[in-house]
Structures are given as structure tokens and as C-alpha cells.
Amino acid sequence: MNKIQKQKYQCREKMPFISRQRFDKSVPAPNALCWLCISLLLIGAASCTTINPGKWQLVWQDEFNSNDVDPARWEFEVNANGGGNNELQYYVTNNASVKDGSLVIEARKEKYTGPEGTRQFTSSRMRTKDLGDWKYGRFEMRAKLPKGQGYWPAFWMLPTDEIYGGWPHSGEIDIMEIVGHKPGTLHGTLHYANPERNHTFRGTNTTLVTGTFANAFHVFTLDWETNSISWYLDNQLYQTQTNWTSGTNVFPAPFDQRFHLILNLAVGGNWPGNPNTNTIFPQAMIVDYVRVYQKK
């Protein structure tokens, strides 16, 4: 079992170093849980809390057991706009496929020309907007991720209706983000607007003591409730947030509206940096399942 460390961070700035607008914008063995608790206490974690499955019921899932990506569950986003982050890829449909019971999103180093220009890398980005939209719930993915300079896999959520205005005022929930040059560190973040209506983001990063997220499958879970949002890695809680803002709107805005899921594998950008000569292509984000639960 991999052990984890965690580090909190909070940052506010008028123009974020990563704009997440994007223009729209192995489960641990039970007998090892005690060792994880001890490890977390030794590094200063306040508690070791596991998921309580009893209050949730499954309402949506994709186990990726079909022959291809299910159009009743996922919509492809095809663009080369860089996601608002100066990313390098052209998002196309051909880089996502279903193989051996898993979704495979592959980033390739290949020249591609489309309506929005020419790029030297391709990948895929998929969302559930208007196919699966939820207000509150548990959102879970089991996946194995790529590593190497310039890779940026993500499992995240955006508002479906933007009730409070464009990004970041209606919020963003990042369930899982990895930057490839730090392949053992997981980031979970909320984005929103502070009372001055400037972009604010706050979250925690959690680092595996041994191994990387490319070595084995891991389970990434987010519990979104009325007054709190909690992140889990392999069923272990590593952060909870209970206060956020949406300009001058009343709490719990903006996280009191419908959101949808997004899966993507970006190449390059302001945060991960661009690939270098040591970056291996192609590599893939391999997803075993995505599941959504709501309270019974």
C-alpha cells in the first residue's frame, strides 16, 4: 500500500497562474489501514477517516465494458484553444477508446490540423454536460495516470448553468489533478470568486511516500454535501473544505447548483510546463470506472 502525505495551500490572485476556465472553460488493503493512520498522525494529520458507504446509493456509472465510448453518457469537446492555460494539444475524438474494460485517453505527439489551427500534440476531453448533471453527491474514479514533464490529467467538474456568472463566479471543483513532473502528488482544489469578485482557489496536495500514480490504479473520490466538500484518496480522507464564496452571494454559493463531470489529459500549459526531450509519447490516462452516488 502506498502511504500519503498532505500539504495545504491557499492562494488568491486577480489573474490566476492557472486559468481553469477552459473556455466553457490501488485501493489499500484493510489490514494496512492502521499503518496509514499512524503515518498520517506522525506527519501531523488531524485524523484518519475512511469513507462511510452506508448513506450513499449509486445513481450513475460507467464501467467501460462496452465496445466504445458511450454517447449517452459522454460528449467529446473538440478544440485547440489551450484551455485558457496555454495547453498545446488539439482535443479530438480519436484519442479516447474503450479497451479491456477501461477508458483509455491517450496523448500523442503528432501534428494535427483542424478548424482552430495546427497543433503538435493530440488528446481527448470528455464531459457529461446535459447527460449527467448533479447537485451534491459522491463522485468517484479509479484510474492509472501518465507521468513525465508536460502531462496534466484531470477529473473535475464545472457548473452546468452558470447561475452566478462566468468562470470563476459559478465555481469549479477539481477532484483529481496530477502534473507529470510530480507523478506522485495529487491535487484537489476549489475555484470560486472572493467578495471582491476576484478569482480564488484553495485546496490540498497529497503525496505518495512511495511509488507514483503511474505505477498502479488508485481511487479518487469527492463527497459534495450542502455545507462541505471532502476529498479522498484510496478511501482515506485527506481534506475537507467548509467555507467558500461566490462574490457577494450567500454561502453555500456557488456550490449549490448542478455540476457535470469532465475527464481530460492535457499536454503542456502554464502549470505543468511543456514536454521536454525526456517526455515519452504516447501515454494514457486509463480509467477503470466512474461512479456517481447520491444520498439515500
Question: Residues with catalytic annotation?
Answer: 172, 177
- The gap from C-alpha 12 to its chain's centroid, in whole angstroms, comes to 20
**Of 280, 1, 270, 269, the residue nearest 146 (C-alpha):** 280
Strands 89-91 and 117-123, bridge-based pairing: parallel
What DSSP state is assigned to residue 79? B
Per-residue DSSP letters for 163-204? TT-STTTT-EEEEEE--TTSTTEEEEEEEEE-TTS-EEEEEE
What is the C-alpha separation between 268 and 272, in angstroms, rounded?
Answer: 6
What DSSP state is assigned to residue 37? H
**Of 264, 254, 251, the residue nearest 167 (C-alpha):** 254
Q: Which own/partner pairs from 38-43 qualify as long-range (CB within 8 Å, at least 24 positions apart)?
A: 39/3, 39/4, 39/209, 40/4, 40/6, 40/236, 43/5, 43/6
> Do the beta carbons of residue 110 and residue 263 sit within 8 Å?
no
- Cβ burial 199-209 (10 Å sphere, 16+ → b, else e): bbbbbbbbebe
What is the C-alpha separation between 184 and 207, in angstroms, rounded?
Answer: 6
What is the C-alpha separation between 19 and 81, in angstroms, rounded?
Answer: 12
Strands 4-12 and 199-208, bridge-based pairing: antiparallel
